[in-house]
A and B are shown apart, each in its own frame.
Chain A
Amino acid sequence: MGSVLGKVLRVNLTTGAISTEELSAELSKAFIGGRGLAGKMLADEIPAGIDALSEENKLFFVTGPLTGTAAPTGGRYMVVTKSPLNDVIASSNSGGFWGAELKFAGYDLLVVEGKAKEPVYISIKDDQIEVKPAGHVWGKNTNETTDMLLEEFGDPKARVANIGTAGEQLSRIACIMNDRWRAAGRSGVGAVMGSKNLKAIVVRGTNKVDVADPDKFKETVKEVMQKIKENGVTGQGLPAYGTAVLVNIINEAGIFPTNNFQTGVFNKADEISGEAIAEKYLKKKDPCYRCPIACGRYCVVDGEEGGGPEYETVWAFGSDCGVSDLKAIIKANNACNEVGVDTISAGATIAAAMELAQRGMVKSDELNGGPELTWGNGQAVIEWVKRMGDKEGFGKKLAMGSARLTEAYGAPELSMTVKKLELPAYDPRGLMGHGLQYATANRGGCHVRGYMVSPEILGLPEALDRFSLDGKAEWVKIFQDLTTAIDSSGLCLFTSFAFGADDYANLLTAATGNTYTAEDVLAAGDRGFNVERLFNLQEGYTAADDTLPKRLLEEPMPEGPTKGHVHPLDKLLPKYYEVRGWDAEGVPTEDKKKALGL
């Protein structure tokens, strides 16, 4: 038997019905699994135009064929649903151990439908599935909930995914936390759980995931492990300093967004860098399931312990809010994990609020006695995150995300978002390919859907001139397709610093028993990407939404090595649509759909 179990677990919270069904082998092969597979199933199963926070929306917790196997980093799962932040298809990836545990329990994916009348949680112990009352943990933070449900479950080896108070309060930037510090972070997926009155999913599995060709698989795993070890990024850089090693590089290039993208240079970057974390607060590394890279950090500050912070988090609460107090950043990160909000969106929304305050649009008397929203105020980032799970007040306003906040003050141009999703930690005015990827990523402003920083800054797999437009449309397409495939496989995106498409193909072939070539892997990614695009078009999105905030298109970078540049998106988009096989309006052509079997 191969590593695809062929089994879907479906729980309907309205009726209480629990069922299992066979996973379509055809879809599984065509989309690999994970993000691609669940995207296709979601698009087929939910009607167009529904409210993402209504009973009609569905939540897919989906693994890939390599999740739970011995493949390095094979612990990933994804949450796929309609996003309450921006109504596009949401697909949030997370690590830790929860995904592998779902597979050990015997399921490729869990589909949650309907809405419970009272707070509940789902308990999965192999084939024993129960929907249980969760009134006693409703209102608790994610750590308290994890502790209480683990005790109730009676098996310390169980794994917990849950929401904090932000998800309960339907914050549109709420995340789903698993294994305490790991997050399916983006797109407000935690609010969808909250809307269903679903507080948590506890899972324990005792089965092993088989592979189709054990000898070939073992040999391939050995080969790719060697690649991870020998690659400078996965073998040295990430293990030593975690993702925050990027702080100094990105700042040196003058593209480290500061004060809500008003500039790209932060003079105190070194104080909040991966080097500073390692020197001052790092207690240990905190690797996910079967991960030889171990980029995860675990820090202690003033006796407060927790996982992280990641590069994006350091940036969001750091330079984007003008904050150079690393302690405050680490505490804000812990607060995000407990309240259950996405660190990028939370930090970026506070940054937008700080700019609203800078311009006199948010007044002190609105803050309910909370800290002043002034650039560099470390206490403000901690305190305002803690208030994002509140039922009312300015914290509740922040928890709606940057687009809704700035809209409420009549200044939507101050929202550094694409399709309402807060942009991450790279200013596209100095990264032409990466900016195109922000504008076209299916979930909105996202860096991990085609990480062009890799060739444009890190020189991997080859160095590209970051200011040049040549070939960037083609690069973005390939990166987006490969990323979709990796997100479908159950491996971590960071393997792509060391692997090529043929490595994923070899692993998938040996594990599943289906034959995949490198071309098949990229085609599956292309297919999954187009399914997402078609979903978004059906929800009313158009080519006009493939854009960037006005500031990044029109205001030249004021200083530093990227000084004078804007992002010339209109020079790249037509070529990108052409390379994608889409018409001038960004719609996949009939020929393209046919070629992909859609």
Chain B
Amino acid sequence: MQITVKLFATLRTNRFKAENREYPEGSTVLDVANDLDIPKEELAITMVNGIILEPETVLQDGDTLSIFPPVGGG
């Protein structure tokens, strides 16, 4: 299935900003993170189609997954 993966802040270093990528059916957020060598502690905020969901969430074809390291501001 096709997943649009968007990475932000330090996660872009040596990776990419946004890519359409192919993953097997049933893949979770965590599977994508593992595929991209993103350690779990860097997985601070994960959004699927703009909604914050747990890393265990199973993705659907056509989803947009946005991954942020720990960030904040005001």
Q: Which residues of A contact B (CB under 8 A)?
A: 231-234, 236-238, 240-246, 248-249, 252-254, 270, 274-275, 295, 310-312, 447-448, 451, 453-454, 457-460, 463, 466, 493-494, 497, 560-562
Contact = CB atoms under 8 A, between A and B. Distances in A.
A240 B73 CA distance: 12
Contacts of A231: 70
Nearest to B10: A240
A457 B9 contact: no
B49 interface: yes
Contacts of B45: 249, 457-459
A295 B73 contact: yes
A451 B72 CA distance: 11
Classify the interface of chain A: helix, strand, loop or mixed: helix
Interface string B5-17: 0101110100001
Given A232-B44, A240-B9, A248-B8, A253 B71 contact: no
Interface in B33-64: 41, 44-45, 47, 49-52
A89 B43 CA distance: 41
B24 interface: no
17 contacts: A232-B44, A232-B69, A233-B72, A236-B10, A245-B9, A245-B71, A246-B74, A249-B71, A274-B9, A275-B9, A275-B12, A311-B73, A311-B74, A447-B74, A459-B52, A494-B74, A561-B49
Among B47, B51, B52, chain A packs the most CB atoms within 10 A around the CB of: B52
Given A237-B9, A275-B9, A459-B45, A252 B74 contact: no
A236 B70 CA distance: 7
A310 B45 CA distance: 21
Contacts of B50: 252-254, 560-562
Contacts of A453: 74
Contacts of A232: 41, 44, 69-71
A237 B74 contact: no
Contacts of B41: 232
Nearest to B8: A248
B74 A275 contact: no
B10 A233 contact: no
A184 to B, nearest CB: 16
Contact of B52 (A233, A244, A463): A463
Contacts of A448: 74
B23 interface: no
A457 B66 CA distance: 13
Contacts of B47: 252-253, 561
Given A463-B52, A560-B50, A561-B51, A238 B73 contact: yes
